[in-house]
Amino acid sequence: MGGRRAQEDLRVSVKKPIAGGTNGAAVVALPHPGTQRTRRLTRFLESERLLASLLLAPTVVLLGTFIAYPFVSGVWLSLSDTSVGNVGHFVGLKNFAKAWDDSIFQQAFRNTFFYTFWATIFKLALGMWLALLLNRSFRGKRLVRASMLLPFIIPTVLSTFAWRWMFDPTFSVLNWLLFRTGFIVNKIPFLSDGVYGMWCAIAVNTWRGMPFFAITLLAGLQTINPDLHEAASLDGANGWQRFWHVTWPLLKPVTLVVVVFSIIQTFSDFQLIYVLTGGGPANATHLLATYAYQVGVATGLLGEGAAISLFMLPVLFVVVWVQLRYLRRLEGA
């Protein structure tokens, strides 16, 4: 870094005398002299600070208007009794207190942790297994890898509809399959029972998110030198020992990053539950996001809805903080 700065200073100081001493003349020395106006623009763009602010302006404006402003406005909404068509008044923390005492909110709050915890565990375990399988060489590998990613790229809403149809109370193909193979005598109430419904949602989330884990971990696996495995197996390590003592330590950094991303997405999930169960039966499968939608948009109580979705913030904050600390440590090393 320091070297580059010095190099640049050197170049500028070399350039100046050639161009005749003044800053303005430096541009004249260029082989493509333009009109007065383009010359002034060129000189303007030579300043790193000005160029940087120009290049960053569109991003800062867009993110400021549609992320920072809504965030501030969301905090204000959550402290007011705004509803659709009514300008709100400041009510302090009333919305938060009301949500905290609400039994549906408590259920949604617990569900969100339960859902995130189990879905992440399953995605990590199955994704790791799949990555290890895909890391071997076999015929048709590219095709297999490409089709494994399909659940991740097909719009979640559309593939969740396919799952909903597979879990249909009357015509479920899964019930048919289990019945025919002799595992069940009576239908499994996939989505009409709260407990089953939650596990079905976890299963669909795992199905959708596992390819992301597998492909990213596979990219990590491919950077591991095969000589390490060879050396370990010469020393008599079996498959499990090789995984645990060679692969896993080297894969830990990328695993942490993938898990953090997945936790954020799972914790704030909306569309999967909205389509699969709609939060039902009897609010048993609501997550924070779907309940915030129901209160804030479907019922129109903007203030209360905003407060419910802000309950996600502390958890997201901790997760992002862990991620940033980790990135810093990587850069420091």
Partner 1 sequence: MVIEKPWKRWVYFYIPLTVFLIGTLFPFYWMLITAIRPDAELYRSWRAVTNTPFWTLHPTLEHFRDLFEKTTFPHWLWNTFFIAVVSTGISLFCGLLAGYALARLKFPMAGALGTSIFVTYLVPPTLLFIPLADIIRNFQLGNTPWALILTYPTFLIPFCTWLLMGYFKTIPKELEECARIDGATRFGAMVRIIFPIAVPGILSAGIFAFTLSWNEFIYALVFLSSPERKTVPVGVVSEMIRGDIYFWGQLMAGALLGSIPVALVYSFFVEYYVTGLTGSVKG
Judged by CB under 8 A, the chain residues 203 through 222 that form the site for partner 1 are 207, 211-212, 215-216, 219
| Beta carbons of 269 and 261 less than 8 angstroms apart | no
Backbone phi and psi for residue 155, each to the nearest 5 degrees, phi listed first: -50, 130
- d(CA 97, CA 253) in angstroms, rounded, equals 39
Q: Which is nearer to partner 1, 284 or 304 (CB)?
A: 304
306 lines the binding site for partner 1 (CB under 8 A): yes
Beta carbon of residue 105, minimum distance to partner 1 (angstroms, whole number)? 15
Beta carbon of residue 101, minimum distance to partner 1 (angstroms, whole number)? 21
4 lines the binding site for partner 1 (CB under 8 A): yes
CA dihedral (43, 49, 51, 57) positive or negative: negative
Contact mark string toward partner 1, 171..210, x via CB under 8 A:
xxx-xx--x-------x-------------------x---
Tokens of 332: 């420091």
| Binder of partner 1 out of 270, 280, 281, 326 (CB under 8 A) | 270
| Binder of partner 1 out of 63, 121, 195, 318 (CB under 8 A) | 63
| Binder of partner 1 out of 18, 56, 121, 318 (CB under 8 A) | 56
| Beta carbons of 157 and 273 less than 8 angstroms apart | no
DSSP code for 237: -
Nearest of 206, 318, 210, 324 to residue 257 by alpha carbon: 324
Beta carbon of residue 162, minimum distance to partner 1 (angstroms, whole number)? 4
Q: Which is nearer to partner 1, 44 or 248 (CB)?
A: 44
Count of residues making up the chain: 333
| Binder of partner 1 out of 17, 35, 67, 181 (CB under 8 A) | 67
244 lines the binding site for partner 1 (CB under 8 A): no
Among positions 14-43, residues that touch partner 1 (CB under 8 A) are 30-32, 42
Cα torsion 264, 266, 270, 274 to 10°: value is 180
- d(CA 306, CA 94) in angstroms, rounded, equals 12
- d(CA 212, CA 294) in angstroms, rounded, equals 29
Among positions 96-115, residues that touch partner 1 (CB under 8 A) are none
Among positions 139-158, residues that touch partner 1 (CB under 8 A) are 142, 144-151, 153-158
Among positions 278-297, residues that touch partner 1 (CB under 8 A) are 288-289, 292-293, 296-297
Beta carbon of residue 291, minimum distance to partner 1 (angstroms, whole number)? 11
Cα torsion 241, 247, 248, 249 to 10°: value is 110
Size of the site for partner 1 (CB under 8 A): 106
How would you classify residue 283: left for phi > 0, otherwise alpha for psi between -120 and 50, otherwise beta?
A: left
